[in-house]
């Protein structure tokens, strides 16, 4: 189980005992002939830190104490076994979300644990699907404006925000920053981008009527399925 207290009260600078155990398990399992992807998921199941600073980089694996970014943790663990796993398979997983072997939802859940799996679903719907919704609506806006002489990318993005959330990106960023206690900015730092996206997901659920939420979610899932099929992936939903 991910330790939520670590996410809210501290930022570890080095591995703790559970993290050391996860890394050692990964190395040992690969050396013993276990498929590296299975070993990786088992190691993820052993990991407890919600965030850390490692090698000068901050990793936040649990967003808003609810949404588990498992691919970010996978990237971190893969850095511990450079040269022990096929480079192309690793790249496909980390950058395309394409695993080297397909697992059922139950197999995936059993390997990472039920608590992380629930948090993974929060991330799937709250970040991955929400990003797909934005992309789908931006595509709609571009299509509508394709015959116009000029239409900036900024205008497309702003219109998409208004259609989905009923407010501009700037207005939403201000509300997000105020709620989280961040300094008000016109843009969000990369490290906070996923947190902002998850906040938008919860904002949409709270402020839009149920029929609209259902319609937009279906649109996002269709877009996500299109993306995954284009990559040759099965859709794990």
The DSSP string of 190-219 is: HHHHHHHHHHHHHHHHHHS-HHHHHHHHHH
Predicted confidence at residue 155, as pLDDT, reads 84
Q: Of 157, 198, 206, 161, whose CA–CA distance to 180 is shortest?
A: 198
| One domain, residues 72 and 144 | no
Predicted confidence at residue 218, as pLDDT, reads 95
118 part of a folded domain: no
121 part of a folded domain: no
Q: Which residues contact 89 (CB under 8 A, 6 or more apart)?
A: 36, 37, 100
Predicted confidence at residue 223, as pLDDT, reads 94
- For the chain, residues with pLDDT lower than 70 are 1-15, 147-152, 186-188, 190-191, 233-237
| One domain, residues 81 and 145 | no
Residue range of the domain that includes 207: 126-230
Percent of the chain with pLDDT over 70: 87
Cα separation of 225 and 209, whole Å?
Answer: 24
Phi and psi at residue 235, to the nearest 5°: -90, 110
Element (H, E) at 31: helix 17-31
| One domain, residues 107 and 131 | no
215 part of a folded domain: yes
| One domain, residues 80 and 147 | no
| One domain, residues 80 and 177 | no
| One domain, residues 16 and 108 | yes
77 part of a folded domain: yes
Stated pTM of the model = 0.86
Predicted confidence at residue 229, as pLDDT, reads 83
SS3 assignment, position 106 = helix
Phi and psi at residue 220, to the nearest 5°: -65, -40
Give the chain's domain count.
2
| One domain, residues 71 and 139 | no
């Amino acid at each position: 189980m991910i330790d939520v207290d670590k996410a809210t009260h501290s930022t570890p600078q080095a591995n703790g005992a559970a993290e050391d155990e996860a890394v050692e398990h990964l190395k040992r399992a690969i050396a013993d002939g276990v498929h590296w992807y299975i070993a990786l998921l088992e190691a993820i199941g052993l990991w407890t830190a919600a965030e850390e600073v490692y090698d000068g980089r901050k990793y936040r694996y649990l967003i808003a104490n609810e949404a588990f970014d498992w691919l970010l943790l996978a990237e971190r663990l893969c850095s511990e076994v450079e040269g022990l796993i096929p480079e192309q398979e690793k790249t496909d997983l980390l950058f395309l979300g394409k695993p080297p072997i397909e697992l059922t939802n139950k197999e995936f859940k059993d390997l990472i644990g039920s608590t992380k799996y629930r948090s993974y679903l929060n991330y799937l719907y709250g970040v991955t699907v929400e990003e797909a919704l934005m992309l789908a609506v931006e595509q709609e806006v571009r299509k509508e404006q394709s015959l116009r002489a000029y239409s900036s990318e900024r205008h497309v993005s702003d219109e998409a925000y208004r259609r989905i959330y009923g407010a501009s990106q700037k207005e939403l960023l201000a509300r997000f920053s105020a709620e989280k206690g961040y300094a008000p900015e016109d843009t969000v730092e990369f490290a906070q981008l996923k947190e902002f996206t998850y906040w938008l997901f919860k904002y949409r659920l709270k402020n839009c009527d149920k029929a609209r939420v259902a319609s937009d979610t279906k649109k996002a899932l269709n877009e996500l399925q299109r993306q995954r099929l284009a990559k040759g992936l099965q859709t794990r939903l």
